[in-house]
């Protein structure tokens, strides 16, 4: 890496007199990338944590630089393909990151991008896209702000199908069964909200995604007219059910306020248990939560689901809840809240949270999947709410918004993202994480 970078014109003058074109080009490329020496600085890169800031990945290429990150939604990692997918509204597409080399690959466009509110002052998340993303094999599924599901063939890098879910607002969070043959997506901003079940492509070579059921929730739990929503679904292999987080339900507890009164006691949320094989009554159970209004959800192999409680839904939330999907008993993780996306990483046996509503600012939360203790929290850029992990390469990916001075409302009001990224455009921060004990033992035995 160069110790001092000249401007392109200055570099060109030098190349004509002293350097070959190849040397100049290498110098120019080095200057145009995020400087390695500038990355992973400041509060987002502490030296005393087990989770270490490894590098930062800029969105875009030298010939086609991306727009600064102002708004993005959920991310997803496919360890088998060594790829991370980011729903990047700022660039109107899904960004693909190579998780083996930690480099930007491309953006698959064709989405509505950022839509602003009627005043033109802030991002209208309910109509912007892409939003939720998930994948299996060569098939990537992404929701858009116009109530459509887009099916992407990753081998060709093209959208092969666009399916309407019948609403006027975004297709948001989604989840697949482990075999990739069944997909659930949530229209969180409809009133009342609903979910849609699709047959998905699994490992098939050709596309045959088809809607086969709409799922609504009993209005005694989610009455219409109050802007209530449903959020992140996750597939629980142990029970063969989808688990869906719900920020607020009526009468939890009795007499609480879900928008119908001026009372100060806001209702808590719940998780839905959905049986995709029962099309008559697919919502098998509504499990009320105790003082938790969740957004994110992620299930670990033992059937424990972490739901990202947030004070944006339940004022006063200061914890995160982990619920067993068979007994529905729960434990709370203290000093961690406001998580829009939650990810369980089998490679480190830990939960990672994109906690954007912490009292002191956004953090990457790290929770031991065995003890359920909060291990550490690492500062992130404002509104940093997305997280995904590559279980094979022991890396965690956390997108960072660009500074507010660059992108306006929604941008980073701190300097955390700028110092982590080493740029004013935002980035995807990459953290290295320790291996789970079981994996270390397996590696040790393999070498004997």
Give the CATH number of the domain where residue 204 resides. 2.130.10.10
Whether residue 433 lies inside any domain: the answer is: yes
Query: Are 203 and 180 within 8 A, CB to CB?
Result: yes
Dump pLDDT digits (tens) for 175-204: 999 999 999 999 999 999 999 999 999 999
Dump pLDDT digits (tens) for 258-311: 998 876 789 999 999 999 999 999 999 999 999 999 999 999 999 999 999 999
Pair 65, 205 in one domain: yes
| Residue appearing with tokens 């065995």 | 370
Q: Give the per-residue pLDDT at 437.
A: 78
Pair 134, 10 in one domain: no
Pair 25, 151 in one domain: no
Average pLDDT over residues 310-334: 95
How many separate domains does the chain show? 2
Dump pLDDT digits (tens) for 16-37: 444 454 444 444 444 444 667 7
The fraction of the chain above a pLDDT of 90, given in percent, is 86
Pair 207, 257 in one domain: yes
pTM of the full structure = 0.91
| Residue appearing with tokens 């600012």 | 361
Pair 17, 159 in one domain: no
Range of the domain at 17: 1-32
Query: Are 276 and 212 within 8 A, CB to CB?
Result: no
Query: Are 381 and 422 within 8 A, CB to CB?
Result: no
Whether residue 38 lies inside any domain: the answer is: no
Q: Give the per-residue pLDDT at 34.
A: 61
Q: Give the per-residue pLDDT at 20.
A: 53
Whether residue 406 lies inside any domain: the answer is: yes
pLDDT greater than 60 at residue 435: yes
Whether residue 37 lies inside any domain: the answer is: no
Pair 339, 316 in one domain: yes
Query: Are 428 and 400 within 8 A, CB to CB?
Result: yes
Q: Give the per-residue pLDDT at 35.
A: 65
Q: Give the per-residue pLDDT at 63.
A: 83
| Pair of tokens at residue 210 | 């088809």
pLDDT greater than 60 at residue 42: yes
Pair 138, 167 in one domain: yes
pLDDT greater than 80 at residue 378: yes
| Pair of tokens at residue 290 | 């105790």
| Residue appearing with tokens 């939003």 | 131
C-alpha to C-alpha distances, 120 to 35, 105, 115, 116, 308, nearest whole angstrom? 35, 32, 9, 5, 30
Pair 251, 384 in one domain: yes
- Where does the pLDDT of residue 145 fall: very low under 50, low under 70, confident under 90, or very high at 90 and above? very high
Query: Are 182 and 197 within 8 A, CB to CB?
Result: yes
Phi, psi of 48 (to 5 degrees): -100, 0
Pair 6, 83 in one domain: no
Average pLDDT over residues 385-404: 98
Residue of 243, 250, 242 whose CA lies nearest to 223: 250
pLDDT greater than 90 at residue 4: no
| Pair of tokens at residue 215 | 């799922």
Burial class for 231, CB neighbours closer than 10 Å (0-12, 13-18, 19+): buried
Q: Give the per-residue pLDDT at 26.
A: 43
Mean pLDDT is lowest, of 48-57, 164-173, 398-407, 429-438, for 429-438
Distance CA 289, CA 231 (A): 14
Phi, psi of 17 (to 5 degrees): -100, -35
Mean pLDDT of the chain: 91
Whether residue 110 lies inside any domain: the answer is: yes
The fraction of the chain above a pLDDT of 70, given in percent, is 90
The alpha helices in 234-393, defined as continuous H runs, are none
Pair 266, 376 in one domain: yes
Query: Are 295 and 339 within 8 A, CB to CB?
Result: yes
């Amino acid at each position: 890496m160069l110790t001092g970078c000249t401007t392109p014109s200055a570099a060109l003058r030098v190349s004509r007199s002293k350097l070959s074109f190849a040397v100049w080009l290498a110098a120019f490329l080095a200057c145009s990338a995020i400087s390695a020496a500038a990355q992973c600085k400041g509060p987002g890169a502490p030296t005393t944590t087990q989770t270490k800031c490894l590098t930062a990945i800029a969105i875009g290429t030298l010939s086609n630089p991306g727009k600064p990150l102002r708004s993005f939604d959920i991310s997803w990692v496919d360890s088998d393909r060594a790829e991370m997918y980011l729903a990047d509204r700022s660039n109107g597409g899904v960004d693909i990151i190579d998780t083996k080399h930690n480099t930007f690959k491309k953006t698959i466009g064709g989405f509505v991008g950022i839509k602003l509110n009627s005043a033109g002052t802030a991002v209208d998340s309910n109509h912007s896209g892409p939003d939720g993303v998930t994948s299996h094999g060569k098939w990537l599924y992404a929701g858009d702000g116009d109530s459509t599901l887009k099916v992407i063939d990753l081998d060709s890098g093209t959208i092969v199908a666009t399916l309407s879910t019948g609403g006027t607002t975004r297709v948001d969070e989604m989840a697949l069964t482990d075999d990739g043959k069944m997909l659930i997506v949530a229209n969180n901003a409809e009133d009342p909200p609903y979910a849609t079940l699709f047959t998905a492509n699994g490992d098939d070579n050709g596309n045959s995604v088809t809607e086969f059921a709409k799922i609504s929730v009993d209005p005694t739990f989610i009455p219409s007219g109050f802007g209530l929503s449903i959020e992140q679904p996750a597939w629980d292999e142990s029970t063969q059910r989808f688990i869906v987080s719900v920020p607020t339900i009526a009468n939890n507890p009795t007499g609480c306020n879900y928008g119908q009164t001026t009372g100060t006691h806001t209702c808590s949320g719940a998780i839905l248990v959905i049986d995709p094989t029962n099309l008559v009554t697919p919502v098998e159970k509504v499990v009320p939560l105790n003082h938790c209004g969740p957004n994110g959800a992620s299930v670990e192999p033992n059937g424990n689901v972490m739901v990202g409680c947030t004070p944006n839904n339940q004022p006063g939330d200061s914890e995160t809840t982990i619920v067993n999907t068979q007994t529905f008993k729960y434990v709370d993780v203290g000093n961690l809240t406001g998580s829009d996306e939650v990810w369980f990483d089998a490679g480190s046996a830990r939960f990672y949270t994109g906690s954007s509503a912490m009292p002191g600012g956004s953090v990457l939360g790290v929770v031991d999947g065995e003890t359920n203790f909060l291990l550490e929290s690492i500062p992130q850029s404002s509104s940093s709410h997305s997280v995904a992990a590559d279980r094979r390469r022991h890396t965690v990916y956390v997108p960072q918004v660009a500074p507010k001075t660059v992108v306006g409302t929604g941008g980073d009001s701190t300097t955390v993202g700028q110092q982590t990224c080493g740029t004013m455009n935002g980035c995807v921060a990459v953290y290295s994480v320790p291996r789970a004990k079981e994996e270390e033992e397996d590696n040790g035995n393999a070498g004997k």
